[in-house]
Amino acid sequence: MKRVKKLTIIGCLVSATAFAQHSGQIDAAHLPALAPHYQPEYTFDELVDSAAWKGQGSGLHVAFGSTEQAYFRTAVPSQKVTATWEATGWKNERLNAQLLVWSPDSLRQVRFTVGDLINENGKVIHHQHTKLHLVRYVLSNYPYGAKDATCEGTPYKQGFLMPDRFEDFDRFDLPGRTTRPVWLSLDVPADAAPGQYTGKVLVHTERYTDTLYMKIRVQRQLLPPPHDWQYRLDLWQNPWTVAWANHLEPWSAEHKALLKKHLQLYADAGGKYITTYGVHSPWSDNSYMIEGGMITWIKERDDSWKYDYRIFDEYVEMAMALGIDKAITIYTPVPWGNRFRYTDAATGNYVYEQWAPGTAVYRTRWHDFLNDLKAHLEKKGWFNKTYLGINENEMEQTLAAIKVIKKHSPQWRITYAGNWHKELDTLLDDYCYLYGKEPTDAQQRQRSARGATTTFYVCCNPPVPNNFVFSPPIEGRWISWYSFARGYDGFLRWAYDGWPEDPVRDARFGGWPAGDCFLVYPGGNSCIRFEKLREGIVDYEKIRILKAQVAASGSKAAKRAWQALEQHLGVFAKEHDFNEEKITGDVDKGRALVAALSDAVGQ
């Protein structure tokens, strides 16, 4: 009895202690749920069609799927699967395929052996020119193919897993009743002999082995290296995110080492613009790691001003060394809320002030800064490739800022991303329109005739076409066909790397559509969206090159082939419904016409 009584008293003491208030206490409702182990991807998606899995025979199932569509983790691949991958391309072109592995049973140690490709004359494309990446699933706030995405927040309460992120791997285990996509890239060597090549891919597990086949036709044309592509790809970069994601001091040696790998992806896709920041946090502090200034403004004790370009120079030199050397954009003369930050040398404090375009203080400060900046850029040999980037604001502020810049020197180049405004046309050296807010064909032809460059962009709108993780992959490739059809010079997107809290698993960022803020992943890892965008850029370059070759050719067959392609390009400029099957067919037909034209010109 005494022992029981003693235990009862202790139980009461524990209970009282559990409900006491303690310093630093957090309500249980706010505690994050902890998992026993880190998961490289979420796996809480629900099985939609269990009957389809029951219809699958046991063991290993493998096939090539289409790179133009998504395949889901708990769904049986039911469309566009084949045992043979057939592709046609130029020398130095990257050709992509999507391998699919699925089973109603759990499989262990799934791995691949890619063989050499050999043509009819015994010429070999070594298997080292192929790369495999595991496709990981990331969390989306919209379902696949959604056409109701907005910048104001999703109406969906559920989450959706989408295939996107690439990951290096040696082998993997496959849970029962799941599918795993694997991305295969073949970089055709620049010195490959033209002809038809064949090869095999062996797929192994602990218990099974299966075989897939490759048939690759290499044409005579040579695709230039990405540095020499004329397509103007502009993906806004935030290099501070690379430091944040890896817990590094910004601009440390370790940070810069990772930045090089990170920027290499952009360079390999033909990136042209280096995103730099002349002011601190131009976009209203709306990122997990805000964009700091690369040029420090310092007010001296005697009220004079000086400017520190150390970070700016380091970043530009790093990007140029990787081949990103056609344009430098400095953001921005019109930051969010007209907020500017400088360092007060007398106190060491950061000082924040609002200088609205059109005011005397704005004109004074920017005239002084532009004097110093112009001298610095000329000394570095960068002035003629530098643009002052103006983001979309009220027209009165935009025009006032442009007036200050042009009054300082008409030699300044200005780039602007926003809706088409006729009053801005002749003021801008580089104009990027929001898709759907564009000029007429006649207005665009006038701009091109002046030698001004033009691109277009998508962001959290429109819902289609876009590069969200839930966008059908074909839309990423379609974008550059549209760009060529409208006579544009390329494409812009914010952003290259505006990562959310846990980007490797969760692509959501606030209320914006998932994937809106980034196109590549930490660690310098690519994804389906980025590779599809790159494919479209290559299509654009091939059409541009072929157009010039046809103009210089006396071949009637080549001219007829060009006329067929030129006529087909019109369907991209007129597209408005974005039915996935239709736009896939339009791109596929266009690619077939490009292949036929390549043959005609190459004869």
Dist CA 48 CA 593 (whole Å): 39
The residue ranking higher by pLDDT, 388 or 18, is 388
Binned at pLDDT 50, 70 and 90, residue 24 comes out as very high
Q: Which letter, b or e, does each residue of 24-59 get, where b requires 16 or more Cβ atoms within 10 Å of its Cβ?
A: eeeeeeeeeeeeeeeeebbeebeeeeeebbeeeeee
DSSP string, 257-314: HHHHHHHHHHHHTTB-EEEEESSS-TTTT-SSS----SSEEEE-TTS-EEEE-HHHHH
For the record, the structure tokens of 338 come out as 């007209």
pLDDT tens digits along 315-373: 999 999 999 999 999 999 999 999 999 999 999 999 999 999 999 999 999 999 999 99
Dist CA 225 CA 223 (whole Å): 7
For the record, the structure tokens of 390 come out as 């103006």
Helix (H, G, I), strand (E, B) or coil at 585: helix
Q: Is the pLDDT of residue 177 over 60?
A: yes
Average pLDDT over residues 379-391: 97
Q: Is the pLDDT of residue 9 over 50?
A: no
Give me the pLDDT at residue 8, please: 46
Give me the pLDDT at residue 7, please: 42
Contact 85, 100 (CB under 8 A): no
Contact 399, 334 (CB under 8 A): no
Give me the pLDDT at residue 264, please: 98
Q: What percent of the chain has pLDDT over 70?
A: 97
Give me the pLDDT at residue 83, please: 98
pLDDT tens digits along 488-533: 999 999 999 999 999 999 999 988 999 999 999 999 999 999 999 9
Give me the pLDDT at residue 473, please: 98
Distances (CA, A) of 279 to 154, 276, 332, 393, 443: 32, 9, 7, 16, 33
For the record, the structure tokens of 578 come out as 């974005």
Give me the pLDDT at residue 34, please: 82
Identify the burial level of 214 via C-beta atoms within 10 angstroms of its C-beta, where 0-12 means exposed, 13-18 middle and 19 or more buried: buried
Q: Is the pLDDT of residue 3 over 90?
A: no
pLDDT tens digits along 74-130: 999 987 899 999 999 999 999 999 999 999 999 999 999 999 999 999 999 999 999
Dist CA 533 CA 522 (whole Å): 18
Average pLDDT over residues 433-444: 97
**CA angle 347-352-354, nearest 5°?**
140
Give me the pLDDT at residue 32, please: 81
**CA angle 238-287-34, nearest 5°?**
115
Give me the pLDDT at residue 18, please: 54
Helix (H, G, I), strand (E, B) or coil at 209: strand
Dist CA 267 CA 597 (whole Å): 28
Binned at pLDDT 50, 70 and 90, residue 19 comes out as low
Pairing of β 195-204 and β 117-119: antiparallel
Dist CA 305 CA 301 (whole Å): 9
What torsion do the CA atoms of 49, 51, 52, 55 make, to the nearest 10 degrees?
Answer: 170
User: Average pLDDT of the chain?
Assistant: 95
| Structural domains in the chain plus CATH codes | 50-222 (2.60.40.10), 228-536 (3.20.20)
